[in-house]
Amino acid sequence: QKEVEQDPGPLSVPEGAIVSLNCTYSNSAFQYFMWYRQYSRKGPELLMYTYSSGNKEDGRFTAQVDKSSKYISLFIRDSQPSDSATYLCGPYAGNMLTFGGGTRLMVKP
Binding residues for other proteins, rule: CB under 8 A, are: 8, 31-32, 34, 36, 41-46, 49, 51, 88, 90, 92, 94-102
Residue 6 CB, nearest approach to other proteins (Å): 8
What DSSP letter does each residue of 20-64 carry, written as one string? EEEEEE--TT--EEEEEEE-TTS--EEEEEE-SSEEEEETTEEEE
Residue 71 CB, nearest approach to other proteins (Å): 18
Residue 107 CB, nearest approach to other proteins (Å): 22
Which is nearer to other proteins, 76 or 88 (by Cβ)?
88
Which is nearer to other proteins, 102 or 105 (by Cβ)?
102
Residue 5 CB, nearest approach to other proteins (Å): 10
Does residue 29 contact residue 14 with C-beta atoms inside 8 Å?
A: no
Which is nearer to other proteins, 14 or 95 (by Cβ)?
95
Rounded distance between C-alpha atoms, residue 23 and residue 109, angstroms: 26
Rounded distance between C-alpha atoms, residue 63 and residue 81, angstroms: 20
